[in-house]
Amino acid sequence: MTAPQGPARRGSSGAVVLGAVLIALGLIFFVGQQLNVDLADAAWPFYVIAPGLALVAFGLTQARGSGLAIAGSMVTMIGLVLLYQNATDHWESWAYAWALVAPGGSGIGMLLYGTRSGDARMARDGFFTIVTAIGLFAAGLVFFEGILGISGERLPLPQWALPAAIIVIGLLLLLRGFTARRVFAEPSPSSPSVAEPPDSEEEPAQSPPAT
């Protein structure tokens, strides 16, 4: 006779969120010490990063937390961009750094939640969104820093850098479009089969003779 089993133990989502936030903050402070960054002067972006990480961690522990994970990833990317700009005084980079927030941040959230929940389609879409964001960021960097020189000095980039970046973005968009079309074209195994039309050669039913 087997002993009765007690209720299954479930982890605390609050502890997971708090642990993830503390680990992330510890890593940020460690990197700041190694790079000799004055965290006292650059501490205010952490008020944006910490809530973003908390949203991501909480969303990953929920059954339907994809929206929280995506929103948290975007907030976290905003905080990271602000952290870089505040440390380097390079605020002009917003002209192209927005691509890291959207679609970059949303792609990271989709990839994380899709991987966690086993949703291969969401994870794939998130990956392509991240790649597109990197391409947009690279094209903006080449245009604004290499051609216009909005920071005061132009980057020493070859003339073919911008056309090459645009071509790469176009190829990525084409690849994503063909992949999405192939997914939508495949019939779902659970979808009901379409009834076949009646045979056109079948003789129509004759009406009964009038009395």
What's the confidence (pLDDT) of residue 165? 72
User: Does residue 138 sit within a domain?
Assistant: yes
User: Residue 98's pLDDT is what?
Assistant: 93
Whether 3 is covered by a domain: the verdict is: no
Quote the tokens at residue 174: 């084409």
Give the structural domain span for 61: 13-185
pLDDT of res. 72: 93
In a domain, 111, yes or no: yes
Residue 64: its pLDDT value, please?
87
DSSP 191: S
Residue 134 belongs to a domain: yes
User: Average pLDDT of each block of 10 consecutive residues along the chain (211 residues)?
Assistant: 48 58 72 67 79 88 89 93 87 91 92 92 91 87 81 72 75 73 51 47 54 52
Is residue 196 in some structural domain? no
Domain count, the chain: 1
Distance CA 53, CA 18 (A): 10
State phi, psi for 210 to the nearest 5 degrees.
-70, 140
pLDDT at residue 188, as a whole number: 45
Answer yes or no: is 4 within a domain: no
Q: How far is CA 14 from CA 73, 110, 116, in A?
A: 18, 22, 18
**CA–CA separation, 66 and 13 (whole Å):** 15
Asked whether residue 194 is assigned to any structural domain, the reply reads no
Q: Is residue 127, in this structure, part of any structural domain at all?
A: yes
